[in-house]
Amino acid sequence: MSFFDLKARRAAAATAAKDAVPSTSAKDTTRTVPWVEKYRPKSLSDVTAQDHTITVLKRTLQSSNLPHMLFYGPPGTGKTSTVLALAKELYGPDLMKSRVLELNASDERGISIVRDKIKNFARTSVSNATTSQSSAYPCPPYKIIILDEADSMTQDAQSALRRTMETYSKITRFCLICNYVTRIIDPLASRCSKFRFKPLDAGSAEERLREICEKEGVRCEDGVIEELIKVAEGDLRRAITYLQSAAKLHNPNGITIEGDQQEDEGDRMDVDDAGQGSEVVTVRSIQEIAGVVPDDVVEQLLKACEPKKGRSVYTEVAKIVEDMVADGWNAGQILVQLYNILVYDDVVTADQKNEIVLLFSEVDKRLADGSDEHLQILDLALRISAVLAK
Amino acid sequence: MPLLVDKHRPRSLEALHYHEGLSQRLKALANSGDFPHLLIYGPSGAGKKTRIVATLKELYGPGAEKIRIDSRIFTTTSNRKIEFNIVSSNYHLEITPSDVGTYDRVVIQSLLKETAQTQQVDTSAKQRFKVVVINEAEHLSRDAQAALRRTMEKYSPNLRLILVANSTANIIPPIKSRTLLVRVSAPTEGEIEGILKYTAGLEGLEYREALGRRIAKDSGRNLRKALLMLEAVYAQNEIVKDDTPIPPPDYEALISQIADEVLAEHTPARIMQVRSKFYDLLTHCIPATVILKLLTFRLIEKCDDALKADVIKWSAFYEHRLHSGSKVIFHLEAFVAKFMRILEGYLMGMVDF
């Protein structure tokens, strides 16, 4: 083929592209999509464990009259998923692009954006749905603006929204999503109907995780799911991410079962001293991924804190704290775990608990301010020890 | 001549000395084609950066080692121009957003989006995505971290992040839940000894077991420090014996001196003398936290057991003040004054102070 023969080259390029694209792209998308996105609920009925909210929303779907909405609740409870599913059910995939504007904290959201972008989008009149679209979906005559992570918007930007929300309420509905409802200024909050998303209960979280395990072919040790739920504290997204990370660690080449995989496995077993266990997700690996300090380390520290007769606890405590810091354990995590043990410890009297809880709050504040972890944990341990000695 | 630390830094995952399990995992992740976002944390001198560089090499091959430094100018919303340095290779970028203080959000937003929206130029590259390494992630402002959240999800086909932090305390939970947490713990003293011996062997230095043991102990499980100490010992002495003194870094020597002075005399006049030393340290860019911490532990070594808990208590107190206040010298002096008070009170036999 001549280099200058443009037509032929173009044709060749086109065929090459045609050959190449589908195979790679198909493979890549399945491989690189995080499970959190892959298993995002597709419809409102898929959303787990938010019965109250979902029933209310479904009812509004039928009447196709939507109020402004404010979704709030801890992370990973399905706020974004719900609103996306809602939008999809309202408009269907085609119309969604033109009818829904999604803005989140990664977009610039200062007051100028509220004035320009949001206002412009809110102002545009709604395009008519084609008959094919409106037959399949309700396609109500308004648009939706989703402001994700609205609590990170500045006060000014929020107040700039106030009038906009009212003026264009005929053709635009707002949906604000946030973790802390207190960060949303009152005038905005009072314009929305609020939906609280509660942390997922263990039962529904477990069901969801088991389903994912089954679909992805992840084999888990007993107790892994329970541990996941425990460390995630009601945050399903975190649980799923941890699960995916753990699955990746144990079975990095994806879940292909047959063929050449077999040989690889042989190699890996030699290098990985977990041997057979390299395929099964273990409780320990979940803890490691979640950054949980092993129980025995924490207990060791507590034991050292116990008052000794006649001599100071300092040397022992200092040594253990030093090791903990050098091992890179997160101070916040140590704090939480110590707290959980001490507060539920029956030997510690109520008065002592009072004092200890005060200590925890103080040290937590200091850590949040960015203080040195080593000194603070050492201080905490020594002061706990002093309280216990009383 | 490069320092030993840089000269013998392992360049590939296979060459790493300790945490074999971790190296295996990183290798497996790099080869899996589905590399997650990482959050690597651990104390300094544990080998976080070394592992990242090695992982990048595993991901992209030797091309990732050819790095250059660019200076870019970003414009903030208030039209202020900020200059920002980026270390990059063809395949990855390395940024330290805390350099620009409160404007880190602007840098994160514009830079990451720009990187994420362009695909890998080099079609023969092993991976389709680019990696952005963010140093000192614990100093990122809340805004910047919030800006990362959605970016991480939205652009995941083109972009992977590696966050490096000393601790995860200041990293917001949404980021933690989107990354794979990798803890790099400091090497044990035994492991440090092994590495010192190995490095000495490479350099053709005569290695002394007892000296190595002392260095490992003094280094506080910080490998970088241990290697620097080793180099210092061999550079300063012609013949190295088991009991050759290890020269402490200048600032440590000065802090020990301060501790001795504080212990010797408890008067306002002494605080004035110590102040000039503090200023000396501060003007040489020794972080106030480091000064306070070292001073505390020096003082602790030499005071009575009964006082230790109290000294730590006040040290922790003033250390916190360092962070919430703006002028560090006040708090350093306040700590010294407080310490003198405690010690004096104790010596006089007073219980309440």
Chain segment B51-81, per-residue pLDDT in tens: 998 998 888 888 888 888 888 888 877 788 8
**ipTM, two decimals:** 0.82
pLDDT tens by residue, B323-347: 888 888 999 999 999 999 888 888 8
Those residues whose C-beta lies under 8 Å from the C-beta of residue A35, and which sit 6 or more positions away, are: A212, A216, A240, A241, A243, A244
- CA B275, distance to chain mean position in Å, is 27
Chain A residues with beta carbon closer than 8 angstroms to that of B180 = 241, 245, 248, 289
Cβ partners under 8 Å of residue B163, min gap 6: B37, B38, B39, B40, B134, B137, B171, B175, B179
Portion 296-315 of A in contact with B at CB < 8 A:
311-312, 314
Tokens of residue A62, six digits: 């039928």
User: Which chain A residues are Cβ-neighbours of B77 within 8 angstroms?
Assistant: 108, 110, 112
User: Looking up tokens 């320990």, which residue turns up?
Assistant: A284
CA distance A217 to chain B (A): 17
CB atoms under 10 Å from CB of B324, counted, come to 12
Q: Which residue of A28, A241, A383 is in closest CB contact with B313?
A: A383
For the domain spanning B250-352, the CATH number is 1.20.272.10
Cα–Cα dist B137/A309, whole Å: 44
A residues 166-225 near B, CB within 8 Å?
Answer: none
pLDDT of residue B292: 92
Tell me how many helices (H) and strands (E) chain A has: 19, 7
Sign of torsion over alpha carbons B203, B208, B209, B212: negative
Cβ contacts of residue A205 below 8 Å, gap of 6+?
A: A48, A49, A229, A232, A234, A236, A239
Model pLDDT for residues B112-129, shown as the tens digit of each residue: 888 887 776 666 667 778
Percent of chain B's residues with pLDDT above 70: 97
* Closest to A210 measured CA to CA, from A197, A229, A194, A190: A229
Q: Nearest CB to A249: which of B25, B142, B185?
A: B25
Test B167 with A330 for CB contact under 8 angstroms: yes
What confidence score (pLDDT) does residue A6 get? 52
At which residue do the structure tokens 């949040």 appear? Answer: A368
Tell me how close the Cα of B180 comes to any Cα of chain A, in angstroms.
6
Q: Specify the pLDDT at position B176.
A: 81
Question: In the A/B pair of chains, how many CB contacts fall below 8 A?
Answer: 180
Contacts of B325 (CB under 8 A, 6+ apart): B331
Q: Is A261 on the interface with B (CB under 8 A)?
A: no
Which two three-digit tokens encode residue B275? 């102040």
Contact of B133 with B164, CB cutoff 8 Å: yes
Question: Cα separations (Å) of A25 from A7, A11, A22, A107, B212?
Answer: 26, 21, 5, 27, 54
- Write b or e for each residue in A335-367: b if 16 or more Cβ atoms lie within 10 A of its Cβ, otherwise e: bbbbbeebeeeeebeeebeebbeebbebbbebb
A153-186 in b/e burial notation, b at 16+ Cβ within 10 A?
Answer: beeebbebbeebbeebeeebbbbbbbbebeebbe
Write out pLDDT tens, residues B87-146.
888 888 888 888 887 788 888 888 888 888 777 666 666 777 888 999 888 888 888 888
Q: pLDDT class for B164, splitting at 50, 70, 90?
A: very high
A131-179 pLDDT tens trace: 776 777 777 788 888 888 888 788 888 888 888 888 888 888 889 999 8
* This prediction's pTM: 0.75
| pLDDT tens-digit map of A84-142 | 888 888 888 777 888 888 887 666 667 777 778 888 888 887 777 677 767 777 777 88
Q: For the beta carbon of residue A262, count every other beta carbon within 10 angstroms.
A: 9
Q: What is the mean pLDDT of chain B?
A: 84
A7: distance to nearest CA of chain B, Å? 23
Closest CA to A200 of A35, A54, A70, A50: A50
Answer whether B213's CB lies under 8 Å from B246's CB. no
Convert the pLDDT of each residue in B208-254 to its tens digit.
888 888 888 888 888 888 888 888 888 888 787 777 888 888 888 89
Counting beta carbons within 10 angstroms of the beta carbon of residue A2, is it exposed (0 to 12), middle (13 to 18) or buried (19 or more)? exposed
Bridge pairing between strands B92-95 and B81-88? antiparallel
pLDDT at res. A22: 42
B38-54: pLDDT as tens digits: 889 888 888 888 899 89
Q: Mutate which of A278, A372, A373 to test chain B, going by most B C-beta atoms within 10 A?
A: A372
The CATH class given to the B4-183 domain equals alpha beta
Q: In Å, how far from its chain's centre is CA A328?
A: 23
H helix runs in chain B, sequence order: 4-7, 20-31, 48-60, 104-117, 142-154, 173-176, 189-203, 209-218, 223-236, 250-264, 268-283, 288-302, 305-324, 328-348
pLDDT the model gives residue B120:
67
| CA distance, residue B26 to nearest chain A CA (Å) | 9
Q: Which two tokens stand for residue A144?
A: 């939706």
Report the residue of chain A nearest B290, measured CA to CA: A372
Select the more confidently predicted residue: A104 or B316.
B316
Burial of A373 (0-12, 13-18, 19+ CB in 10 A): buried
Judged by a CB distance cut-off of 8 A, whether residue A373 touches chain B is yes
C-alpha A111/C-alpha A124 separation (Å) is 20
pLDDT of residue B170: 79
Q: How far apart are CA A312 and CA A300, in angstroms?
A: 16
- Residue B118 has phi, psi (to 5 degrees) of -100, 140
Domains and CATH numbers, chain A: 36-196 (3.40.50.300), 202-290 (1.10.8.60), 295-388 (1.20.272.10)
**What ranges make up the beta strands (E) of A73-136?**
100-103
Residue ranges of chain A with per-residue pLDDT less than 70: 1-32, 64, 105-109, 129, 133, 251-279, 310
Yes or no, beta carbons of B149 and A37 under 8 Å apart: no
Please tell me which of the candidates B43, B319, B322 has its beta carbon nearest to residue A328.
Answer: B43
The answer to whether A70 touches A179, Cβ cutoff 8 Å, is no
Beta carbons of B149 and A36 less than 8 Å apart: no
Give the residue among A60, A72, A127 at the shortest CA–CA distance from A97.
A127
Q: In this structure, how many other beta carbons lie within 10 angstroms of the beta carbon of residue A67? A: 15
Which of these, B130, B81, B129, lies nearest to B103 by C-alpha position? B81
Looking from the CA of A161 toward its CB, the CA atoms found within 13 Å total 30
- What length does chain B have? 353
Query: Residue B317 has what pLDDT?
Result: 92
Q: Which amino acid is at A363?
A: V
| HSE value, Cβ hemisphere, 13 Å, CA-based, for A21 | 6
Domains in chain B: boundaries: 4-183, 189-236, 250-352
Distance CA B125, CA B167 (A): 33
